[in-house]
Structure 1
Amino acid sequence: MDEEVQRVLDSIDALGTDGDAADRARRLTELLDDWPDTHAKVRGMRQEAVKEMHESGMSLRKIGEELGVSFGRVRQIIAGETAGQAKRKAAAETE
């Protein structure tokens, strides 16, 4: 795992272990309150990076290999579809 990603995950873990219960609960509540906006921001940053890879000439398959996801998922990321949206769309098409 990337060192920077691991530091972020370690920081999140520390929110649940450092301090007394009230402090932990307050910090975790704050994180959860901000999580939807943060999650959307991270998804958007990933989408832009994947678009940049594709616009530089990389194929969807090659991008998928680099990221460890399918080329179909790469297409969904570029289109801004979340995994949940893609699953709901696929389920609706089979009905």
Structure 2
Amino acid sequence: MDTPPTPFEALANLTTGPDPTQRAKNIGMALAAVPDLQKWLRRAREHAVGEMHDSGMSYADIGVELGMDRVRAHQIAKGKTTGRPPKPKPGPAEPDSP
């Protein structure tokens, strides 16, 4: 893949320039920020779906507009990121037994 997927074409500038060290640093910083980007995009989508509903659209209508079912549209508006429960966080490592 030579170009980033739509709508991230503007990020292509991270991969250009004469200094490979700087390019690697720029790309590394961008990769490290992906979780924050996802959170920001989710909040922005949540707000947009909430605005759609506040303007009088039903969740069924919102679902049709966005290509999802009404339940998912409602979940998004309420800030639920997935229909699955969160993955459990790993606990402390158990000591090796002799």
Same fold (TM over 0.5): yes
* Equivalent residue letter for 1:27: N
Q: Give the TM-score taking structure 1 as reference length.
A: 0.69
**What SS is found at the alignment partner of 2:33?**
helix
- Aligned equivalents of 2:44, 2:22: Cα separation in 1: 31
Q: Corresponding residue for 1:34?
A: 33
Q: Corresponding residue for 2:52?
A: 53
Matched, 1:67 2:66: yes
Give the % identical residues: 36
Gap runs ≥5 in structure 2: 87-98
Gap runs ≥5 in structure 1: 90-95
- Aligned equivalents of 2:42, 2:80: Cα separation in 1: 10
**What SS is found at the alignment partner of 1:87?**
coil
Highest CA radius of gyration, 1 or 2? 2
- C-alpha deviation, 1:44, in angstroms: 0.8
Matched, 1:76 2:63: no
Root-mean-square deviation (CA, aligned residues, Å) is 2.2
The alignment of Structure 1 onto Structure 2 pairs a total of residues equal to 81
- C-alpha deviation, 1:15, in angstroms: 2.3
Q: Give the TM-score taking structure 2 as reference length.
A: 0.68
Q: Corresponding residue for 2:85?
A: 88
Identify the structure with the greater helix proportion: 1
Q: Corresponding residue for 1:44?
A: 43
- C-alpha deviation, 1:60, in angstroms: 0.8
- Aligned equivalents of 1:62, 1:88: Cα separation in 2: 26
- C-alpha deviation, 1:82, in angstroms: 1.0
